[in-house]
Structure 1
Amino acid sequence: MELAFATSVYPTNGHRAIYDNKRFPNKKQSFHNKFRCSVAVAPDANRVSAVELENKKHNLLLAVQDTQRGLAATADQRSIIEEALVSVEGYNMGAPIDMAVLDGTWRLQYTSAPDVLVLFEAAARLPFFQVGQIFQKFECRDQLRGGVIRNVVRWSVPNLLEEQEGATLVVSAKFDVVSVRNIYLQFEEIKIQDIKISEQLQALIAPALLPRSFLSLQILQFLRTFTAQVPVTNPGTGRRSVGGLYYLSYLDRNMLLGRAVGGGGVFVFTKAQPLEL
């Protein structure tokens, strides 16, 4: 369109055309109006791409919304989710991992990983077990080739612990960047912490209507500060050699997609508030 304007304004002899304003009173104004219109409707490729990406991310989150984080997903839903995943993953595939963006807390929205789904299945079948929010916390802001990752599971035992977040299970691992998008996890420790006993259990240990004895107070303090740490070891060798590859297929400031290499399942995370452990 701009080439057509150029031809009409500058004749082929190389000299600027001089119009008689009396004969063409609106010629200059008309040209500028047309030029302004042509600039106004020119598409911004980067902006269009960003809008398309946000739409695809929104569609992915809609697809996983009613699956109970993957537990109730049907075969058709899993197929739709996989297509939505691939659509989003294509936007920064092959870009190096930005450690400053990866650093922080991410909340699980969906997974097909069997070792996580078994927790959801247990909570669905057992009335004395609840699974709350699940997070991944990366600590790598000032690192170049690795850091620490903590898988955090909030869980509870109804009537004994507070609902959904009565206790915290933390599985810690070191990770190293081994290629552009792959990290290797070296699991180190499993820890149970942040025990929050229910009001019913507190009343049973130390009834409110009776004077609290030294023993009852000690029991309450022990439960509230209880932690249990178990190193992760290989059952065959007894050495700390448990690990695996994790492919970070998409990453931006509010979404993280991952795939456990070797068919271990996919993960959809969104950015969460900082988590103190």
Structure 2
Amino acid sequence: MALAFASSLRVATGEGLLCNIKPFNSNLTATRKLPSHKKLSCSATLTIERTQAPEFELENKKHNLLNTIQDTQRGLVATPDQRSVIEEALVSVEGYNMGEPIDLEKLDGTWRLQYTSAPDVLILLEAAARLPFFQVGQIFQKFECRDKSDGGIIRNVVRWSVPTLLEEEEGATLVVSAKFNVVSVRNIYLQFEEISVQDINISEELQAIIAPAILPRSFLSLQILQFLRTFKAQIPVTNPNPGRQSVGGLYYLSYLDRNMLLGRAVGGGGIFVFTKAQPLYL
């Protein structure tokens, strides 16, 4: 009787499921035949997962970069060891779209400075840290290049204040404007044109001195307040050498997406880490 089970017995169980029952073995092995449409669905899922994997890795690297700069006060108190770690984290992000052309549509908009090693910016932060009568608030880069193919306008914006005279951190705005041209795949050349001071917001203490709240405000005091609020000083940037272009510089945009911008001032001018910010209206 045992010989009757010497060959495998195949039992149909419905829905394409076949059970192989092997002789002298209590283990049951089941094999399910998937319908063709389910096979296609599994294949599509695997393709999506493979596509999403690099994006997930990139977001992790961006998050790691932001973590490394978190306690550096925008680069002011970064130690040499921290700068080395930040450089390594920055390079790991830069590799994701290195060599791709600059997308001016993505570049257009306002970007908030999160970190820099550029001496000309750090000197402002150092001054604010040392001088009790000077504060530096948020620093932005505003690109105006929508619908352009080869360049546009860039405005470096610094919010600053003088305590007791102006409102905290946003008492006034310094704007350095420049034209820029795309000169290679990821390099832009900046040609500075103008420096301006605008959007002066005087403190309540100063307003009280100019026009005391307990007295009727005279025409003259109101004129002074209006003048301060609308004051705008503009200084053109010119090259002292006749016949030469105005002051400029080369800027390498090493990484760009919808929410992060990384840049390097060519010639050892430092690195920059920006994140997308709400639009500025100047």
Structure 2 CA distance for aligned equivalents of residues 109 and 240 of structure 1: 31
1:265 paired with 2:267, answer no
The Cα of 1:236 is off from its aligned counterpart by 3.8
Tell whether 2:82 aligns with 1:77: yes
1:184 aligns with 2:175: no
Question: How far did residue 27 of structure 1 move?
Answer: 2.2
Is 2:16 the partner of 1:23? no
Aligned to 1:42: 46
Give the letter for the 1:62 counterpart: N
The residue number in structure 1 matching 2:104 is 99
Q: CA deviation at 1:149?
A: 0.3
1:57 corresponds to 2:57? no
Check 1:218–1:41 CA distance in 2 against 1; reply closer, same or farther (3 A cut).
closer
Asked if residue 113 in structure 1 is aligned to residue 118 in structure 2, the reply is: yes
Inter-CA distance 193–62: structure 2 relative to 1 (3 Å threshold): same
Partner of 1:18: none
Q: In 2, Cα distance between the equivalents of 1:52 and 1:67?
A: 24
Which residue matches 1:10? Answer: none
Amino acid at match of 2:225: L
> Which is greater in Rg?
2
> What's the offset of the Cα at 1:234?
1.9
TM-score normalised by structure 1 residue count? 0.88
User: Which residue does the alignment assign to 2:22?
Assistant: none
CA distance in 2, matches of 1:219, 1:235: 36
Which of 152, 155, 159 is the aligned partner of 2:160?
Answer: 155
Aligned to 1:224: 229
CA shift at 1:238, angstroms?
8.2
Question: Structure 2 vs 1, CA of residues 216 and 233 (structure 1 numbering), >3 Å: closer, same or farther?
Answer: same
CA change 1:224–1:64 in 2 (3 A) is same
* Contact 1:187/1:240, CA 8 A, preserved across alignment: no
**Secondary structure of the structure 2 residue equivalent to 1:191:** strand
Supply the AA of the counterpart residue of 1:188: E
Q: 1:239 to 1:203 in 2, by over 3 A?
A: farther
The answer as to whether partners of 1:157 and 1:163 remain within 8 angstroms in 2 is yes
- TM-score, with normalisation over the residues of structure 2? 0.86
- Aligned ranges for residues 159-178 of structure 1 at < 5 Å? 159-178=164-183
For these two proteins, the number of residue pairs brought into alignment is 257
Structure 2 residues not aligned, in runs of 5+: 1-8, 20-30
- Aligned equivalents of 1:42, 1:214: Cα separation in 2: 74
Q: Give, in angstroms, the shift of residue 41 of structure 1.
A: 7.8
Instruction: Work out which of the residue numbers 123, 129, 133 in structure 1 matches 2:138.
Output: 133
Aligned residues of 2:10 and 2:18 also touching (Cα < 8 A): no
Per-residue CA shift, 1:72-92, capped at 9, x if unaligned? 100111001000000000000
Alignment deviations for residues 214-259 of structure 1 (CA, whole Å, 9 cap, x no partner)? 2111111111111100001123448552001000000000000000
Residue 198, structure 1, aligned to residue 203, structure 2: yes
How far apart, in 1, do the equivalents of 2:45 and 2:148 lie? 44
CA deviation vs aligned residue, 1:77-108 (integer Å, no higher than 9, x gap): 10010000000000000111111100000000
State the match for 1:13 in structure 2.
Answer: none
Choose between structure 1 and 2: higher strand proportion. Answer: 2
Does the residue aligned with 1:27 lie in a helix, a strand or coil? strand
